[in-house]
Structure 1
Amino acid sequence: MTVLSSPQLGAPERIAASSRRPATLGAAAPGAISLAMGEPDAGTPTAVVDAAVRSLMDGRTWYSPMTGAPELREVLARKISAGHPRPTTAREVVLTHGGSAGLAAAMLALVQPGDRVLIPEPTYSLYADHAAMVGADVVWVAARADGSLDLEALRYEAATARMIIMCNPGNPTGRIYSAADLAGIGALLADHPDLLLLSDEAYGSIVFDELPFISALDLSDVSSQVVYCSTLSKTYAMTGWRLGFVVASGPLADKINLIHRTINGPLNTFVQDAALTALATPDADLQKMTASYQERRNLVLEALAGIPDVEILTPQGAFYAFPRISTSLSSDEMVARFAAAGVMVRSGSEFGPSGEGHVRLSFATDVTSLKEGLDRFVTAVAAFPQ
């Protein structure tokens, strides 16, 4: 399914015409339990907050370099080089005002009006908004029934496309792309040297059941065509701090950096100082957080198991579940019914055409709220018409 841009419209009109994102995003009715937002329930670790306070008290309130703090870029480059078969330099790391600004800067820098952008779906709804902002044409490519990429469909479209945008682990599904999926994407890039991959791996550290996770950074043979985007928001519970980063080959990184600093200017100095502390978090602490999400994932699966009208692919990472509910109601109508029952979720249609019939719920909230929210969810489903 292709969604054509309307070049005669301005960017706000294009975004408004194509956006699937709800205008009430983040709002919750009084007394309702929100399972709608993708935000860790735990506060930012104390050590990270303390580092920010020390930075402020030390007078670190001046502008930072336009391209970001050199030390932070170096630290990220070293971490990436150590973890992936991709030697990475600080030049190739672009610090951004959150992952969203990194995605937007990459799109503005590398995609032209009228370019075709392939978006495997269901997926994060902001990608299509960014494509509309640029004036690109979106080609939705539905996932297979098991959540894997439809590589055949992507190959069919690849010859005339500029970019593939991939979310891994997936939002809203929590699915992880397999080694075969990543190898297939690598083969597509090798066959089409002008094709780029924008891989959003905001949840790359949150993987369950000891499953292997393969990053786009591992596609070393086509690394010049890979643009990797991540954020400190999810891994380190720093959503409100707004610090992300993009990794790309030098020429692409230079273009992305130019766009980002032109729009945003320099990043907050004290936030970058705090990020250095966050990046030094012991792996054991990160594993505890992931284990906590996995326990909550299991609560969701237990609550939904055996309900005749509910089907779900087991989330393998991130902190979302994307059940399909057999009912005559649309996804938007289901969301309204759930809200009336006191639990907030997101409409599946927000995440692409194949999301219709689904809803997304987040299990990043605290266990007590999650259990009560799931009870309300199950009660509401039982009253849905067939």
Structure 2
Amino acid sequence: MAQELTRRELLALLGVSASMLTATVTRLSAQGNAAPGVLDVAVIGAGAAGLTAGFLLDRAGLDFQVFEAAAIHGGRAKKDNSLADFPLDMGGEWIHTTNLVLNSLSQDGQASRRATEWRPVTCDVSDGKRLYRDNSYALEWRGEHRFITTTWFDFFNDYMAKGIRDRIQLNAPVSGIDYSADPVLIHLAGGETVQARHVIVTIPLNVLKDGDIRFTPDLPRSKKRALKGAVMPDGLKLFMRFEDRFYPDMVLFEHEYETPEAELMFYNAALDKPTRQNILGLFAHGALATPFVKLSERQLVRKALRQLDELYGGAASPSYRGHVLQNWSKSPFHRGTYSYFSRSQPSTLGASIDGRVHFAGEAYNRHWDGEWGYMHVAARSAYDAVDEISG
């Protein structure tokens, strides 16, 4: 993928621009608070979309608060520093577009320097009976980008969360949103009630589907239909450190997928990183992840090592030196990896309710561009939600 985009291409990619942001800030600042003790905006969730929304609202000078159910911000942007001598992306890892999108999302012209194109060369493929080399699969990944010495978590932490940490309330799950009232009432699980003129909901798809937040009135029929046509499948990320490198840049598997979004692959996580360590990643998603995510951590690691031993003549287990695991299916505030749409559109999920309840996140893309499930889409959707509030 080309490293340089025209201004028109970049705006089409992101859906926002610096001039649009300036106009939004001006309009929002002019609106002001409706009444003392009433927030301009309550943001539910401090993941990619929630942090970006807070970043924009702070620039607009509005009174807002971000409510996060977990004990740390970041959502599915999560990192680990314990296994390798470089940080590991335990959630979203790839930038599924040009790295220039980082500049636009952060409004910092230097942010793109954090990432480089991922350039795998070698790839083995297993058909269940034999292992064969087919490097053409690796070449298909050219154009994807990854962070060099940082992660997606660092990006949102350094750019979006930096100036709003005092506005983020952790361990604060929301149990209800009553938009029959004016202002909107946000009920916290701990018993507190917050009032706001607008609400931006950024919770993961499965959390919304499971009804953790009770809406009053109930969600519109169109949104309920869209929820039924969307899924957020099982998934996990496992990184293993080995003494020796016995594997190529990628290991893929031929399967009869139950859905197009079923995926299982091993990949060289140390590729393009400033390290001599051998770190192998396992990403499993969808139906292919389900047999893994139901296991205990010990069983899961043994299953992965056994699979590698079968492929590479027993080379994995003797060389194994440790691992880190993120089982996203068992994460209580996420319950899966990322969204997939087969019978509905993310634009329907992303539509606001009553002009006061807004949605942002990887599952709530308002653009008809076929994109969802990506970190940059989640952040871009926050721009859309804030612009929507501005009218």
- Is this a same-fold pair by TM over 0.5? no
Under a length normalisation based on structure 1, what TM-score does the superposition of the two structures give?
A: 0.25
Higher relative contact order (CA 8 A, sep 6+): 1
Under a length normalisation based on structure 2, what TM-score does the superposition of the two structures give?
A: 0.25
Structure with higher helix content: 1
